[in-house]
């Protein structure tokens, strides 16, 4: 099976690197900047358990030409959500009819968009639960734990085996909507983390920041309940109980959180990286999904709307928000709503 990673950023390089290190046949479609970095340093993948693997440039198949996807049996789309339409158009007319395309992207709308533009391909939703940080010099580091999910399909036996060989747990799931919403609830922390500009572990150790996340999650959970959507349980704690855990005093949270998620000091959100490097964030595909759900229900989502507003302001004029300032801002919006 030939696998093609379209969008070799943090997630694409990490997944592709783990697969390639385990002997899978992987092509990477990369931007020139990443290609230059990998050609100089090779690809190094590490994780929070102190595992580290190096794939030398001699064993990397890199290209910036979308046409190499024609050779693939399976495409893993790992680009930012804003680039989904561009990628789909580039693949249109290139892929074989039997090619399977898996969207390993944030948000809930990418699969539908890919299906619209690539109607002859099998398009499946995927979910990456863990955080990957690009540390420079070809190093991509998995900073949190979690199990990968893909929409159940009969043709994925070989892919599951490839991931198992790479020591990455991959589960096939029928109800991907529940999985994606559960991941999105966790991803609501991306905005809080980006505004704090702290490593994830440090940010989550501060109660006021956690309370900000709890407010955003509670708002989303209330809307999901009205919409009769039950998010899956991705952590040791059910999604509907997570806001209560986040609000706990620090000394209690530090005990309980060990069962929620393993996080190492290097982990940070991709949204924080985007702000630091001046790139547009994926806020519209994370908190924006909550706002869209509210609109569909003829309701409002003032907390998530405010976080979108603050992130978009930070994209133009960077600003670090203290925990006290951010929670005060969100509480004001909540009272007004």
Say whether both 225 and 311 belong to one domain: yes
Boundary (domain end) residue, out of 123, 152, 174: 174
The predicted-structure confidence for 109-159, as pLDDT tens digits, reads as follows 999 999 999 999 999 999 999 889 888 899 999 988 889 999 999 999 999
Say whether both 166 and 194 belong to one domain: no
Boundary (domain end) residue, out of 156, 174, 192: 174
The predicted-structure confidence for 74-84, as pLDDT tens digits, reads as follows 999 999 999 99
| Alpha-carbon span 73 to 82, nearest angstrom | 25
Q: How many domains does the chain have?
A: 2
Please report how the helices 207-226 and 287-296 are oriented relative to each other, as an axis angle in degrees rounded to 10. 30
Say whether both 28 and 166 belong to one domain: yes
Q: For the residues 209-228, what does the mean pLDDT come to?
A: 98
| Alpha-carbon span 263 to 206, nearest angstrom | 15
pLDDT confidence of residue 167: 95
Q: For the residues 15-40, what does the mean pLDDT come to?
A: 94
Say whether both 251 and 136 belong to one domain: no
Say whether both 251 and 142 belong to one domain: no
| Alpha-carbon span 188 to 192, nearest angstrom | 7
Say whether both 152 and 239 belong to one domain: no
Boundary (domain end) residue, out of 115, 145, 174: 174
Residue 329's pLDDT band, with cuts at 50, 70 and 90, is: very high
pLDDT confidence of residue 148: 97
Q: For the residues 280-305, what does the mean pLDDT come to?
A: 97
| DSSP helix/strand/coil, 321 | coil
Name the residue range of residue 265's domain: 177-334
pLDDT confidence of residue 266: 72
Residue found under tokens 């969008």: 7
Say whether both 168 and 201 belong to one domain: no
Say whether both 237 and 311 belong to one domain: yes
| Alpha-carbon span 149 to 3, nearest angstrom | 17
Check: CB of residue 129 under 8 Å from CB of residue 170. Answer: no
């Amino acid at each position: 099976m030939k696998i093609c990673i379209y969008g070799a950023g943090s997630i694409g390089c990490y997944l592709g690197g783990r697969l390639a290190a385990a002997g899978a046949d992987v092509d990477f479609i990369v931007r020139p900047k990443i290609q230059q970095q990998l050609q100089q340093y090779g690809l190094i993948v590490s994780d929070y358990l102190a595992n580290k693997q190096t794939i030398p440039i001699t064993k990397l198949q890199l290209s910036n030409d979308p046409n190499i996807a024609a050779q693939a049996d399976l495409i893993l789309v790992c680009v930012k959500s804003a680039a989904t339409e561009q990628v789909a158009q580039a693949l249109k007319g290139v892929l074989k009819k039997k090619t399977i395309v898996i969207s390993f992207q944030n948000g809930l709308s990418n699969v539908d968009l890919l299906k619209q533009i690539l109607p002859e391909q099998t398009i499946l939703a995927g979910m990456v639960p863990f955080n990957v940080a690009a540390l420079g010099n070809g190093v991509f580091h998995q900073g949190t734990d979690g199990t990968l999910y893909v929409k159940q399909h009969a043709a994925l036996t070989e892919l599951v085996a490839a991931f198992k060989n790479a020591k990455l747990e991959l589960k096939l799931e029928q109800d991907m909507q529940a999985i994606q919403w559960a991941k999105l609830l966790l991803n609501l922390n991306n905005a809080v983390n980006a505004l704090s500009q702290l490593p994830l572990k440090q940010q989550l150790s501060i109660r006021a920041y956690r309370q900000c996340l709890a407010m955003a999650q509670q708002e989303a959970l209330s809307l999901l309940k009205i919409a009769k959507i039950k998010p899956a349980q991705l952590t040791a704690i059910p999604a509907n109980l997570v806001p209560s855990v986040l609000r706990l005093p620090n000394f209690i949270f530090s005990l309980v959180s060990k069962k929620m998620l393993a996080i190492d000091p290097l982990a940070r959100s991709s949204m924080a990286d985007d702000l630091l490097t001046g790139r547009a964030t994926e806020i519209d595909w994370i908190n924006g999904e909550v706002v869209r759900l509210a609109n569909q229900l003829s309701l409002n989502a003032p907390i998530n709307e405010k976080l979108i507003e603050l992130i978009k302001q930070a994209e133009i004029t960077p600003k670090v928000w203290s925990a006290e300032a951010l929670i005060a801002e969100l509480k004001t919006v909540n009272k007004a709503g």
